[in-house]
Amino acid sequence: MCYAIPGRVKEILEKTVLVDYFGEERKAHNEIDGLTVGDYIYAQGGYVIEKIPAPEAEEILAVWKETFFELQEVDLRLSRLDLETKGIGAETVRILDRAMEGKPPAKEELLQLLRSEDPTHLDLVFKTANFLRQKYLKNACCVHGILEISNHCKQGCHYCGISLHHKALPRYRMTQEEILAAVQEAVKRYGFKALVLQSGEDPGHSVEELEEIIRTIGREFPALIFISFGEIGIDNLKRLYDAGARGFLMRFETSNPELYAKLHPGQTLATRLEHLRKAYEMGYLIITGGLVGLPGQTLEDIVNDIYLARELHAEMFSFGPFLPSPGTPLAGFKPVNESEMLKVIAGARLVEPTEARVLITTAFETLSKEARRKGLLAGGNSVMLNVTPRQYREKYALYPDRAGKSELIQTQIDETIALLGSLGRSPTDLGAK
């Protein structure tokens, strides 16, 4: 997982290949030497990551062929939209109508859409987002793995359970061997094609060590690697890109500079954004977003966050609820409710209908048992599973009772496949259009 299905190379134009999936065509960037038309490949996030032998690919495709179209039909049925506009304001109908034609709402319009608490109105907003997801991106659902390699952190973010504030937390740092073994398990045994390596801002893993880990993964375990080690410096971002990392996951947390400064002692929003902008210029795929429901945050702030993520070229929007974490300055505050999170997921889809993956985050899954199902029906098309060795997962305590914190990888996969199946989604990433 992303259990990408094999595709067949149809055309090659320099570094861009056209890949066929049961008649659907997607483009992917190729860095593999000697690829020819007719070869079977796995692509991920718009990159070719592995060439696979034809007999193996044909066997997998034979199994997929039936379900591929069945799932698409279920999805189509579930995302059909009868614009039931009784009791809905004319202005809302106008904004949603335009959105359905692929014209994203302006900031003020999105604010207006999301300000409502009326369930009928919100239901229509969520359904419109789901309609757009189906229309432009079909039923592919991206399933990345996340491996948390260290919970040491030198920062004091006010909400974060692995920050300096949480003195009682036992700390761990996986060794290079442990990291490679976990990557091997995720890629070879469980079939993940895209992995996020994440940690706190931990000087204990040197950039040389990280480079070596990423190079080794590139040689031995074909997968698209996202790094998520916080603000490691622009030069180090470049070094890890050159070592083979192709994705950068870092939230800007909030687009409101004053709120940012309050919650992140010694850090500035400007430095964080510079990392994200430079990473994009280097060629990284960007996953970013913010926290929803921070004390002092307004709906205007959240709408600005969605637009900022778009401006930063987020290929995946990652928004999660703030959840109060023991031992931190914000331990006594309350989180938002489920519907506020669904608004953000739908909002992200409305402003970026055609390209983006919108993630149903683990924090949202922790907030609500129904997060995945409802989020996937409100514009979401992406989930992450935790592939951190179980003895460490509990210690990666960003907030309490994290969803999936003790489940076997296989159990997480089985549950995900079952849910996706019921919604007509394929656990695939067919890459860029």
- Told to check if 320 binds ligand 5AD by CB under 6 A, we report yes
Of residues 320 and 404, the one with the C-beta less far from ligand 5AD: 320
**Of 323, 356, 387, 397, the one binding ligand 5AD by CB under 6 A:** 323
Nearer Cβ to ligand 5AD, position 269 or 430? Answer: 269
Q: How far apart are CB 10 and ligand 5AD at their closest, in Å? A: 39
User: Bridge partners of 27?
Assistant: 18, 432
Q: Would you call the peptide bond into 2 cis, given omega within 30 degrees of 0 as the criterion?
A: yes
* Site track for ligand 5AD across 107-136, x = CB under 6 A: ------------------------------
Cα gap 9→166, rounded to integer Å? 50
Q: Which is nearer to ligand 5AD, 160 or 245 (CB)?
A: 160
Alpha helices in 30-106 (DSSP H): 54-78, 90-100
Distance (Å, rounded) from C-alpha 241 to C-alpha 233?
Answer: 12
Determine the 3-state secondary structure of 358 from DSSP.
strand
Binding pattern for the stretch 246-285 against ligand 5AD, x by CB under 6 A and - elsewhere: -----x-x--------------------------------
Q: Which two tokens mark 296?
A: 């002092």
The piece of 6-14, 67-75, 103-111, 320-328 that touches ligand 5AD (CB under 6 A) is 320-328
| DSSP code for 426 | B
Query: Rule CB under 6 A: which of 285-314 touch ligand 5AD?
Result: 291
Interface size with ligand 5AD, residues (CB under 6 A): 13
DSSP of 218-259, one letter per residue? HHHS--EEEEE-S---HHHHHHHHHHT--EEE---B-S-HHH
With CA atoms as reference, report the closest residue to 146 among 211, 176, 177, 190. 190
Residue closer to ligand 5AD by CB (options 51, 251) is: 251
Selected from 113, 378, 397, 398, the binder of ligand 5AD by CB under 6 A is 398
Site for ligand 5AD contains 363 (CB under 6 A): yes
Question: Tokens standing for 72?
Answer: 């698409």
Encoded amino acid at 432, one letter: A
Q: Strand 314-317 relative to strand 16-21: parallel, antiparallel, unpaired?
A: unpaired
Residues between 399 and 428 that touch ligand 5AD (CB under 6 A): 399
- CB under 6 A: which stretch of 67-75, 261-269, 297-305, 315-323 binds ligand 5AD? 315-323
- What does each C-alpha distance from 102 to 110, 120, 302 come to in angstroms? 14, 22, 22
Whichever of 99 and 169 has its CB closer to ligand 5AD, that residue is 169
Residues of span 16-45 touching ligand 5AD by CB under 6 A: none
Q: Token pair of 271, please? A: 């430095």
Closer CB to ligand 5AD, residue 21 or residue 392? 392
Q: Residue 195: name the closest of 398, 2, 393 by CA.
A: 2
In the complex, the smallest distance separating the C-beta of residue 22 from ligand 5AD, rounded to whole angstroms, is 36
Cβ nearer to ligand 5AD, comparing 116 with 155? 155
Cβ–Cβ < 8 Å for 261, 268: yes
Helix (H) / strand (E) containing 376:
helix 371-376
Fill in the per-residue mask, 135 to 174: x = in contact with ligand 5AD (CB under 6 A), - = not in contact: ------------------------xxx-------------
Instruction: Compute the least distance from the CB of residue 241 to ligand 5AD, in Å.
Output: 20
Query: In terms of C-beta density within 10 A (0-12 exposed, 13-18 middle, 19 or more buried), how is residue 332 classed?
Result: exposed
Distance in Å, CB of 281 to ligand 5AD, minimum: 21
Quickly count: other Cβ atoms within 10 Å of residue 122's Cβ: 18
Mapping DSSP to helix (H, G, I), strand (E, B) and coil, where does residue 337 land? coil
> 431 with 205: CB under 8 angstroms?
no
**Cα dihedral sign for 58, 60, 63, 68?**
negative
Comparing CB distances to ligand 5AD, the nearer of 53 and 400 is 400
Our CB check for ligand 5AD shows the closer of 325 and 386 to be 325
Q: Closer to ligand 5AD at the Cβ: 123 or 231?
A: 231
Using CA atoms, how far apart are residues 405 and 399, in angstroms rounded to an integer? 11
Report if residue 232 touches ligand 5AD, rule: CB under 6 A.
Answer: no
Least gap, CB of 169 to ligand 5AD (angstroms)? 12
| Closer of 64 and 260 to ligand 5AD (Cβ) | 260
Which residues sit at the interface with ligand 5AD, rule CB under 6 A? 159-161, 251, 253, 291, 320, 322-323, 325, 363, 398-399
